[in-house]
């Protein structure tokens, strides 16, 4: 597909992941990982195939499943994006104006699926894929199978950047706490990982505490002991507000 823009150099793991996602989805024209962190705007982190042009077009104002998933925290599926009333600006003509050289490729686009997920305690990643046929819930299920690897691949990508060692350690530690807390929510609520993450995210917003502190507080409350963490200055110490929030979350989960 000549003319498709390339994304900045990323780790081989992330490149392989995107190629694998595209290979796993019948009719895939491209796949992408987009991220936002600490309240910043959603931006493209890496892309494969046509997604290298399609995702930036969505993020630059045309709208679409990728920014919608990043904003709502919910999976978004469009069977035929050009006639989807949710994004009236995301049309064939709009994309041709955006990238005229890709007119033939834009004509092949039909479905898009986007899956948001926790990247770390303060950010979200969005996995997405574009197809030459309708996207379905099964498309989202394929993305979900790659969700955890995508989060870890981003951590690895961070580790390759100069002067990012401290941030990488923070990401790894936050991710571990979130996964453990998500497991608790899944077990008590009998829900899937997406619902578990949404439960933690909403609770952190409602009680105005960091989700990583809430996660550690929840693990410690249920376990009756300090959560296993590496010693040192990067240890997550939940404050009183986070512990109160954890008690209320656990009470709500156990009363279901």
* Mean pLDDT value of segment 100-128: 89
Domain boundaries, position 229: 165-254
What's residue 106's pLDDT? 97
Q: Are 182 and 209 in a shared domain? A: yes
Count: domains in the chain: 2
d(CA 195, CA 119): 15
What's residue 1's pLDDT? 41
Q: Given pLDDT bands bounded at 50, 70 and 90, which one contains residue 6? A: very low
Residue 5 inside a domain? The answer is no
What percent of the chain is predicted at pLDDT more than 70? 81
Show the beta-strand stretches assigned E in the chain.
Answer: 28-37, 43-49, 76-78, 112-120, 123-131
What's residue 189's pLDDT? 83
Q: Is 9 a residue whose pLDDT tops 80?
A: no
Q: Of 132, 159, 186, which residue sits at a domain end?
A: 159
Residue 2 inside a domain? The answer is no
Q: In this predicted model, what pLDDT tens digit does every residue of 43-98 receive, in sequence order?
A: 998 899 999 999 999 999 999 999 999 998 889 999 999 999 999 999 999 999 98
Q: Of 159, 178, 203, which residue sits at a domain end?
A: 159
The structure tokens listed for 56 are: 């930036």
Q: Are 208 and 228 in a shared domain? A: yes
Residue 34 inside a domain? The answer is yes
Residue 3 inside a domain? The answer is no
What's residue 222's pLDDT? 81
Q: Are 24 and 148 in a shared domain? A: yes
* Mean pLDDT value of segment 18-22: 92
Return phi, psi of residue 203, to 5°.
-65, -40
Q: Are 121 and 217 in a shared domain? A: no
d(CA 47, CA 150): 12
Q: Is 118 a residue whose pLDDT tops 80?
A: no
Q: Is 212 a residue whose pLDDT tops 50?
A: yes
Residue 117 inside a domain? The answer is yes
Q: Are 234 and 155 in a shared domain? A: no
Query: Long-range pairs for 96-104 at CB < 8 Å and ≥24 separation?
Result: 98/53, 98/57, 98/60, 98/62, 99/3, 99/53, 99/57, 101/3, 102/1, 102/3, 102/4, 102/50, 102/53
Q: Which helix (H) or strand (E) holds 184?
A: helix 165-189
Q: Are 173 and 204 in a shared domain? A: yes
Among all chains, which residue has been given the structure tokens 């931006």? 43
Q: Given pLDDT bands bounded at 50, 70 and 90, which one contains residue 174? A: low
Is residue 51 a contact partner of residue 128, using CB atoms and an 8 Å limit?
yes
Q: Are 24 and 93 in a shared domain? A: yes
Q: Are 124 and 177 in a shared domain? A: no
Q: Are 104 and 224 in a shared domain? A: no
Q: Are 24 and 63 in a shared domain? A: yes
What's residue 152's pLDDT? 72
CATH number (domain holding residue 49): 3.30.450.40
Q: Of 100, 127, 159, which residue sits at a domain end?
A: 159
**What is the chain's length?**
256
């Amino acid at each position: 597909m000549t003319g498709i823009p390339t994304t900045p150099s990323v780790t081989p793991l992330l490149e392989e992941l995107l190629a694998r996602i595209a290979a796993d989805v019948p009719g895939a024209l491209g796949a992408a990982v987009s991220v936002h962190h600490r309240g910043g705007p959603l931006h493209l982190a890496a892309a494969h195939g046509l997604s290298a042009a399609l995702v930036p077009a969505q993020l630059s104002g045309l709208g679409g499943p990728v920014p919608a998933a990043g904003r709502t925290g919910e999976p978004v599926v469009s069977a035929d994006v050009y006639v989807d009333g949710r994004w009236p600006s995301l049309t064939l003509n709009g994309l041709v104006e955006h990238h005229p050289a890709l007119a033939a490729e834009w004509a092949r686009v039909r479905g898009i699926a986007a899956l948001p997920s926790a990247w770390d305690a303060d950010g979200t990643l969005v996995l997405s894929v574009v197809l030459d046929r309708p996207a379905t819930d099964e498309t989202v299920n394929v993305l979900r199978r790659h969700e955890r690897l995508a989060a870890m691949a981003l951590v690895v990508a961070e580790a390759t950047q100069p002067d990012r060692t401290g941030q990488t350690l923070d990401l790894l530690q936050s991710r571990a706490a979130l996964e453990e807390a998500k497991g608790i929510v899944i077990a008590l609520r009998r829900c899937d990982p997406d619902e578990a993450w949404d439960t933690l995210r909403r609770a952190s917003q409602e009680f105005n505490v960091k989700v990583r502190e809430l996660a550690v507080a929840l693990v410690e409350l249920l376990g009756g002991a300090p959560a296993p963490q590496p010693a040192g200055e990067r240890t997550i110490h939940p404050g009183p507000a986070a512990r109160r929030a954890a008690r209320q979350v656990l009470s709500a989960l156990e009363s279901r």
